[in-house]
Structure 1
Amino acid sequence: MVSGRPVNEDLDAWFRSLMLSTGNGRGQPESGGAMPTLSGWKDLPIELLLRIMSVVGDDRMLIVASGVCTGWRDALGWGLTNLSLSWCQQNMNNLMISLAHKFSKLQVLALRQIIPQLEDSAVEAIANYCHDLRELDLSRSFRLSDRSLYALANGCPWLTRLNISGCSNFSDTALTYLSYHCKNLKCLNLCGCGKAATDRALQAIAHNCSQLQSLNLGWCEDVTDKGVISLASGCPDLRALDMCGCVLITGNLQYLYMI
């Protein structure tokens, strides 16, 4: 059993011994001291476990590892900040519900889907536990309703990047509410969110999200010059604006030169 917090030299030696194997598994660290004894995988220090997981680089393996024992679950929950479940072709909703409380320190979460799986219950679980979330990809989540945006607004106020492209069920009321609570947004993808991306919502975004740098309004057919002009006035850092398919834009947007 390893006791105490291991020094960097010990971590390096353990890591090399486990990953490269010395034959008898009891090599000597470069510092010259004796190699501390590990009685089993469950005794791995947190720092070493996280280093091994970083080399593995497979989110599926991270999920499996979190179920090995309480210690591993707690260690990964403490150290894991980036997770993608976009590889999941089925049961993503239930998987996310079961993982949210384990990985409460997540800052980047990708849940892009080919076949719509996510439901509001999964997003609500994320909002209930992952309060440090900075980047979230929910693209192509056709099943989500306004419940999800309300949950994110109340549970994930530090969001800077949000991709809800293709989430066609969201309303402008919910998007307006989100903009009021998530004022640090810098990148927002609303492509295909025709019900949510209205002039009213854009005015709210312009008023609340002054740090916005990138906005995708592709195929948001209710957007007019009025909404875009409000962005030009309220978002001085806006650098990328996609209006492909915004058929009501007239082209008389001289105020855009203010961006």
Structure 2
Amino acid sequence: MAENVDAITSLESVPDALRHKLTQALCDSRKMNHHFLNLLASKSPTEIRVLQLDQCGRCLPDYVLYATLNNLPNKLSALTNISIKGACRLSDAGLKALVTSASALRSINLGCCSLLTSDAIIILADKLGSVLKELYIDECFGIDAKSIFPALLNLQHLEVLSMSRSESVNNSFITQFVAVQGHKMKELVLADCTRLTDRAIKVIAESCPGLCAIDLTNVCKLTDASLGHLANGCETIRTMKFSCNTFSDEAVAAYLEARGGTLTELSLNHVDKVAHHTALSLAKHAMKLQSLDLSWCREMMDEALGLIVDSCLSLKMVKLFGCTQITNVFTHGHSNEYAKIVGLQESQILKNIVVPDLLPLRYSSV
């Protein structure tokens, strides 16, 4: 069906589960187009609550969106989650038309929507200020953090803010933002925001007591002091991503000793110094850990990895890409049959890759 999408004339009798698989297949193969989008919108369903069109790219310019919205009168009134990551032809005007039709939106992912400007966030605040809880604007290079600051403060119930690769995010922006919104924040994604320093992390730790997840991947100016701030201030973090930073083995171990007991997901990808101390702390304190990424951590040897995997019995996934030092002593020697090891030469990588579905809100009920 995906290979012959232009020949499909109706989806009226196609079950929802099959529509979902077909839509995902088209998006993954970059064959999603306005013809199929209009088929999805016409006649049924009578109500849409979740809409995921990631990588829809060229098929969603404003004129197609307007036509699709015309085919969906009143069907978007219950829409709570939408992801149109990669909609590179969507403009501020198109986004305004969309959120005007979907006034109940709680979560919106606009990552890599390259035509959007700061005005887009002002529009969101105006239309959805009293309901929006999750905002993802990763790699939206036309959006300036300073320009959208007043609009972000008007998002009264914001819990998740994702702004990875935003060159305009700096210490001043973070300090001012969390001073007002920090007590509500559950997740902050600041990967590749390379202007941030320990000062910003200290303010986050002091102002976000309910934070459950933080991504600090490649925030390259951070030092071990940041881990101390997070250990002292954020007691509820379940997902921690430290990847591509220069933290010491001792500092990571100390953080895990203090807060490892709450973690379910940890990424230390390319934190090159982690080794024996980190392994001991993980084995002793990370009993709830389900996902661990130690890719390119080449100081982590067979015995240390074996101790981690055999001690952390909740582990379901361990990623070890680039760990050429690991031998069969580990792969055939550990006793945790439930932990999938991904990234080593003999592991079946593609078999373990799961494309996530767009789910209801991460931290709140709809």
Q: TM-score of the superposition, structure 1-length normalised?
A: 0.71
**Aligned CA distance change for structure 1 residues 65 and 118 (closer, same or farther; 3 Å):** same
Structure 1 residue 92 displacement after superposition: 2.6
**Partner residue, 2:276:** 199
Query: How far has the Cα of 1:131 moved from its partner?
Result: 1.1
Higher relative contact order (CA 8 A, sep 6+): 1
Taking every aligned residue pair, what percent have the same amino acid on both sides?
26
In 1, distance between residues paired with 2:207 and 2:136? 23
- Is the aligned partner of 1:175 residue 2:252? yes
Contact map agreement 1:187 1:214 (CA 8 A) in 2: yes
1:12-46 deviation line (CA, Å, top 9, x unaligned) = 9xxxxxx57xxxxxxxxxxxxxxxxxxxxxxxxxx
Amino acid at match of 1:229: G
Asked whether the equivalents of residues 199 and 226 of structure 1 are also in contact (C-alpha less than 8 Å), the reply is: no
Unpaired runs of 5+ residues, structure 1, are 1-11, 13-18, 21-47
Q: Work out the CA distance in 2 between the residues paired with 1:206 and 1:158.
A: 20
RMSD: 2.6
Whole-Å separation in 2 of the counterparts to 1:127 and 1:210:
23
Query: Which residue identity lines up with residue 150 of structure 2 in the other structure?
Result: V
Q: 1:207 deviation in Å?
A: 0.7
For 2:225, the aligned partner's letter is: R
Measure the CA separation in 2 of the matches of 1:100 and 1:56: 15
Aligned residue identity for 1:63: F
Q: Select which of 82, 89, 92 maps to 2:170.
A: 92
| Counterpart secondary structure, 2:262 | coil
> Structure 2 residue aligned with 1:134, among 184, 209, 212?
212
Instruction: State yes or no: 1:124 paired with 2:213.
Output: no
Q: Which residue of 1 is the match for residue 317 of structure 2?
A: 240
Equivalent residue, structure 1, for 2:160: 82
1:110 corresponds to which residue?
A: 189
State the AA in 1 paired with 2:185: L
* Match of residue 252 from structure 1: 329
- Give 3-state SS (helix, strand or coil) of 1:257's partner: coil
Q: How many residues align?
A: 204
Q: Which runs of 5+ in 2 are unaligned?
A: 1-76, 78-99, 102-127, 138-142, 338-366
Q: Find out whether 1:64 has 2:150 as its counterpart.
A: yes
Runs of 4+ in 1 over 4 A off after TM superposition: 53-62
Which one of 297, 305, 318 corresponds to residue 220 of structure 1? 297
TM value normalised by structure 2 = 0.51
Matching residue's letter, 1:180: E
